[in-house]
Amino acid sequence: MKIGAPKEVLGGEARVAMTPDSALQLQKLGYECFIETGAGLAAGFSDERYKTAGVTVLDSANALWGEVDIIAKVRPPVDAEVKLLTKGKTLISFFYPAQNTELLEAAKATGSNVIAMDMVPRISRAQKMDALSSMANIAGYRAVIEAGNNFGRFFTGQVTAAGKVPPAKVLIVGAGVAGLAAIGTATSLGAITYAFDVRPEVAEQIESMGAEFVYLDFEEKAQDGAATGGYAAPSSPEFREKQLEKFRELAPEMDIVITTALIPGRDAPKLWLKDMVEAMKPGSVVVDLAAERGGNCDLTVPDQKVVSDNGVTIVGYTDFPSRMASQSSTLYSTNIRHMMADLTPGKDGQVVHNMEDDVIRGATVAFEGEITFPPPPPKVK
Ligand code: NAD
């Protein structure tokens, strides 16, 4: 069968779902590989590199979508792309089916199969396909780099002939995949790093990454953010008050605040409020990784960098992985390649769409003219 990646159509998206390296691996699974001309350019992969890796370069999106059986993409398809899907084709991309119900209906109506990379179950066996995690890891790293780029001082403390420089103090709010990556990056740059999460079980992970866990003066049993599947649930009003009180106490001390707090299916909780920004020192930086879901910071403007009246920079970019397109394309295309390996048990270039397999079933949101979302809960942990 034939697999190909088109150029991403959303403005500013620099990632690509197939790299020359992933194409070589896909060929080992028996697939013939195709790419739309220029699709990898913004991520640093020229047409020539694809050709050297045995990939056929096609000169338009229409030619690509028409030629291949499996389309690998990063972003959910736009309406014009869904129109290019036909019965029997398989689309693999981020899809967010809960938010994109009309798009899912439209894809179903084409009779094609849709595998949503954001729906890969977060079980051990599927970690190699967990694109949410691979992109969150990059976002967490890049958030620190972006903070450093907007911060006028060193992260690490220094004693120099020209004077003594104190280390920067960094607070990470939310210690999921992105938060832990941010902790690791900030710590490795020499900052004194603090982190908070509603799930107390992450305290050990936070401390093992070199940060200090911010404890609340609140009964442990009430710190009940943990819900099924390791995700957070909304906090009680009392818990939230304690959390905000703690943040108010920390705000004047912190040079950099990176917020990553999310609760599945809800808008991002507001945790870094206007008065906390006002209490920060001029030159401090807030990077809000939750900007796409409304932001954790009151003053965040999605997709923009703004400066508050007291000189605090608030970064609300929503495209952190795309800002490291070479790295993120490499990891994302590897996630896709692993998904294809599971879909190709015979390594013969033939997809076997086994709906009895928890991972394939979980990620498949449309199959042979039916919507297959939401999936039943996985049987395997
Ligand atoms: P996420 O992006 O949904 O949320 C980010 C973090 O924000 C979470 O740690 C959450 O607890 C925290 N948060 C929510 N409300 C908060 C608040 N009010 N204050 C402070 N923090 C708040 O999280 P994620 O990165 O997708 O990870 C979610 C879970 O999934 C974690 O337990 C993670 O370990 C787990 N996970 C498992 C696998 C696997 O394969 N087994 C893979 C990836 C993630």
Q: Residues 315-371: pLDDT tens digits?
A: 999 999 999 999 999 999 999 999 999 999 999 999 999 999 999 999 999 999 999
The question of whether 133 is a catalytic residue gets the answer yes
Cα–Cα distance, 236 to 322 (Å, whole number): 35
Give the residue, out of 197, 258, 381, with the most ligand 1 atoms within 8 A of its beta carbon, to mutate for a pocket test: 197
Per annotation, catalytic residue among 21, 27, 69, 122: 122
How many residues are given for the chain? Answer: 381
Give a three-class secondary structure readout of 233-301.
CCCCHHHHHHHHHHHHHHCCCCCEEEECCCCCCCCCCCCECHHHHHHCCCCCEEEECCHHHCCCECCCC
With beta carbons less than 8 A apart as the criterion, state whether 147 and 256 touch.
yes
Ligand 1 near 289 CB (within 6 A): no
Give the Cα separation of 13 and 40 in Å (integer).
11
Q: Is the CB of 177 under 6 A from ligand 1?
A: yes
Helix (H) or strand (E) holding 204: helix 203-208
Q: Is the CB of 231 under 6 A from ligand 1?
A: yes
Ligand 1 lined by 176 (C-beta under 6 Å) = yes
Ligand 1 atom having least distance to the Cα of 263: 14
Give residue 310 CA to ligand 1 midpoint distance, Å.
32
What's the CA gap between 232 and 63, in Å, rounded? 44
Percentage, residues of the chain above pLDDT 70 = 96
Residue 28 CB contacts under 8 Å (≥ 6 apart), including other chains: 347
* pLDDT, position 233: 83
What's the pLDDT at 228?
A: 46
Query: Is ligand 1 within 6 A of the CB of residue 206?
Result: no
Cβ 175 under 6 angstroms from ligand 1: yes
Q: Which of 130, 197, 288, 319 is catalytic?
A: 130
Residue 222 has a pLDDT of 43
Q: Tell me the one-letter amino acid at 317.
A: Y
The pLDDT assigned to 230 comes to 72
Q: Reply yes or no on whether 127 is catalytic.
A: yes
Residue 136: CB within 6 Å of ligand 1? yes
Which pLDDT score is estimated for 217? Answer: 81
Euclidean distance between CA atoms 223 and 94, whole angstroms = 33
Quick one: pLDDT at residue 248?
98
Beta-sheet pairing, 70-72 with 2-5? parallel
Query: CA 167 to CA 153: how far, in whole Å?
Result: 9
In the prediction, which pLDDT does 221 show?
54
Three-state secondary structure call for residue 33: strand
Q: Is 153 a catalytic residue?
A: no
- Residue ranges in the chain modelled with pLDDT below 70: 219-229, 378-381
ipTM of the prediction greater than 0.90, yes or no = yes
Predicted pLDDT at 223: 44
pTM for this model (two decimals): 0.95
Ligand 1 centre to CA of 18 (Å) is: 28
Identity at 25, one-letter amino acid code = Q
50/35 Cα distance (integer angstroms): 8
| pLDDT at position 48 | 98
